Structure 1
Amino acid sequence: MSRPRAATLRDVDEAALALPEVTRDPESGGRPGYLVRGATFVFSRGPRKDAVDPRTGAPYEVVLVFRCTAEDKEALVGDPGSPWFTTPHWNGYNAVLLLERDLGRLSPEEVREVVTDAWLVRAPGRLAKDYLDGLDP
């Protein structure tokens, strides 16, 4: 049995834009952020002094940020060998971080799941409920 193909930034883009009422900022090109009714649920950020590679001490280049629940954050960050992490800056915030270079450690299905979960956290309650209701057969 073969391993699923590695996820790419295109998978993040497609997963986010497939959800209801999502906008991409910027609309094309650049490092995107995804919003649902003005609330950001996934975005990328450049180097910060508080996000450094523990092996080299160099700031991480591009970090993807996904909103989540506190429970999901604990599970994702606490899983040994997981590519998900947090930094002191994100303590107390319901979000997990992923190095763009580690995106390929995930499958497109895993990306779709985490993007959808991030959207559900930030979408207005009625919109989220309608979306979930639409998934039921």
Structure 2
Amino acid sequence: METLQDVARIIGELPEVTEGERYGHPTWSVRGKGFAWLRPFSKADLKRFGDQTPPVPPIIAVNTAGLHEKEGVLAAGIDGVFTIEHFNNYPAVLIELNVIAPGDLRDLLVDAWLAAAPAELVEAFDG
């Protein structure tokens, strides 16, 4: 079981990351470009789950390198990784922290950072 502290620790190891807020929720950016954020469910999101039990918060959203990458991540069947209707046609996936394995969380956060970081930071990154 991973926590928001684990997310912050992993992200804190990445170059030039700043933490801020978007819509009142923690958001992490590299040179002003957001790549990960806390994503609680809205009332509309919860309604769309219908009779299905929604994933348990906290939920983190992370960008992917594109829609093709998003489909690949979802097709990999990683426990705790999912999407919702609100994210249709948007290059990001959601992560249920209570379910995801530590290594998978790290990989997804690093990949999100790589997708957002400028080329010179990516080239210099040794993680």
| Class of the TM-score when normalised by the shorter of the 2 chains | 0.7 to 0.9
Counterpart for residue 64 of structure 1: 60
Please state how far the C-alpha of 1:59 moved relative to its aligned partner. Answer: 9.8
2:31 maps to 1:18: no
Question: Could you tell me how far apart the structure 2 residues matched to 1:59 and 1:83 are?
Answer: 8
TM normalised by structure 2 equals 0.78
One-letter code aligned to 2:122: A
One-letter code aligned to 2:114: L
Counterpart for residue 97 of structure 2: 103
Q: How many residues are matched?
A: 122
Question: Could you tell me how far apart the structure 1 residues matched to 2:51 and 2:12 are?
Answer: 35
2:55 maps to 1:55: no
Specify which of 15, 28, 40 is matched with residue 34 of structure 1: 28
Please state how far the C-alpha of 1:93 moved relative to its aligned partner. Answer: 1.2
Label 1:8 to 1:71 Cα distance change in 2 as closer, same or farther (>3 A).
same
TM normalised by structure 1 equals 0.73
Question: Could you tell me how far apart the structure 2 residues matched to 1:106 and 1:57 are?
Answer: 17
Please state how far the C-alpha of 1:71 moved relative to its aligned partner. Answer: 3.4
Of 107-116 and 69-78, deviating more is: 69-78
Deviations 1:93-122 (A, max 9, x none): 110012xxx313222222111110000000
One-letter code aligned to 2:28: Y
Contact 1:48 1:60 in 2 (8 A): no
Of 6-15 and 72-81, deviating more is: 72-81
Deviations 1:39-58 (A, max 9, x none): 00000123324422343577
Structure 2, unmatched stretches of 5+, are none
Counterpart for residue 3 of structure 1: none
Label 1:62 to 1:9 Cα distance change in 2 as closer, same or farther (>3 A).
closer
Please state how far the C-alpha of 1:91 moved relative to its aligned partner. Answer: 1.4
